[in-house]
Amino acid sequence: MQGSDLIDLGGQVALVTGAGQNAGRATALELARHNAGGIAVNDYVAERAEAVAAEVRALGVPALAVPFDVTDLEAARAANTAITRELGAATVLVNNAGMAGPTASIRPTQNFWEEDPAHWQRYLGTNLYGVYNCSYALIPNMVEAKRGRIVTIVSDSGRVGEAKMAVYASAKAGAQGFMRSIAKELGRYNVTCNSVSLSALMPDMSEEQLAEVTASDHAKAMLSRYTIRRYGKSSDVAALVSFLCSNAAEWITGQTYPLNGGYAPSA
């Protein structure tokens, strides 16, 4: 879309990590709808990346699936080479891959001092080193082009703290500090660097499934802390991230935007 569209990517090529489902998928598709020149779809799970790349192509935008583990710097660099060859140099990076990494699910069950230290790396690897690695691989493209956008998806656990999620929270807090710092290095090249801090998102599901989930006592207690009484949606993330990646956001940098329905943490 061009002309009257506020969210205009100006033909830039974007890499979205962890884009095989939910927030990352929605972001990849939204960027494609707003004049991206091409979308590189990363996910650890190759079939997911391929499926979303096909959805992007169906919108008439070139796409390339780049399945790799963001904790692997050499894989990120190899993906950047492939993206440059197939789509052109990527000057937009959305660091969305997160949670407990590619092969584990987040289970906030233990206090920090009781958990197995062997589990720390899964959080630090994807949520912090993954952000370093993809940024390190793509920033030279942006410096060369004298334009660019980096948006990292973080978590309110890292902004306000969350019991039984301390290592994940600290990885997300570290990613925010990293973004604020590289924003200062990259401003002179017209590259902006921001974070979007989420509270609880619901995975993509039907309205019926969502109604069932939100009817539970646990969900009601949780949602009582949200001014807008619903869980976040992938489309909420896609909208703000796309705006921050657009030309309209060229004077916004070094910030962390809470995207959370007015969430207020408990003590």
Ligand X SMILES: NC(=O)c1ccc[n+]([C@@H]2O[C@H](COP(=O)([O-])OP(=O)(O)OC[C@H]3O[C@@H](n4cnc5c(N)ncnc54)[C@H](O)[C@@H]3O)[C@@H](O)[C@H]2O)c1
Shortest Cβ distance from residue 45 to ligand X (Å)? 5
Nearer to ligand X, 99 or 145 (CB): 99
Question: What is the DSSP secondary-structure string of 105-147?
Answer: -----S-GGGS-GGGHHHHHIIIIIHHHHHHHHHHHHHHHHT-
Q: Please list, residue by residue across 56-70, b when 16 or more beta carbons sit within 10 angstroms of its beta carbon and e when fewer do.
A: beeeebbbbbbbbbb
Site string for ligand X, 148-177 (x = CB under 6 A): -----x-x----------------------
CA separation for the pair 217, 255 (Å, rounded): 35
List the one residue from 96, 141, 170, 176 that touches ligand X (CB under 6 A): 96
Give whichever of 35 and 241 is closer to ligand X, judged by the CB atom. Answer: 241
21 in contact with ligand X (CB under 6 A): yes
**CB-based burial label for 110 (10 Å; 0-12, 13-18, 19+):** middle
**DSSP, res 241:** H
Residue 48, interface with ligand X (CB under 6 A)? yes
70 scored as a contact of ligand X (CB under 6 A)? yes
| Cα–Cα dist 52/73, whole Å | 23
Cβ-based burial of 126 (10 A; exposed 0-12, middle 13-18, buried ≥19): buried
Instruction: Please report how close the Cβ of residue 85 comes to ligand X at its closest, in angstroms.
Output: 21
Per the residue annotation, which of 44, 123, 168, 263 is the catalytic one?
A: 168
Residue 8 vs 43, nearer CB to ligand X: 43
Region binding ligand X by CB under 6 A among candidate stretches 3-11, 51-59, 95-103, 180-188: 95-103
Helix axes 46-58, 22-33, angle to 10 degrees: 30
Nearer to ligand X, 200 or 223 (CB): 200
Sorted by sequence, the CB contacts under 8 Å of residue 133 that are 6+ apart come out as 70, 71, 72, 73, 76
Question: CB-wise, 168 or 186, nearer to ligand X?
Answer: 168
- The residue count for binding ligand X (CB under 6 A) is 29
Q: How far is the CB of 70 from ligand X (least distance, A)?
A: 4
Residues in region 226-265 near ligand X by CB under 6 A: none
189 is catalytic: no
72 φψ region: left (φ > 0), alpha (ψ -120 to 50), beta (else)? beta
Q: Alpha-carbon distance 257 to 154, whole Å?
A: 9
Residues in 102-131 at the binding interface with ligand X, rule: CB under 6 A? 102, 126, 130
Q: Which of 97, 139, 169, 179 binds ligand X (CB under 6 A)?
A: 97
Binding positions for ligand X, rule: CB under 6 A: 17-18, 20-24, 42-45, 48, 69-71, 96-99, 101-102, 126, 130, 153, 155, 198, 200-201, 203
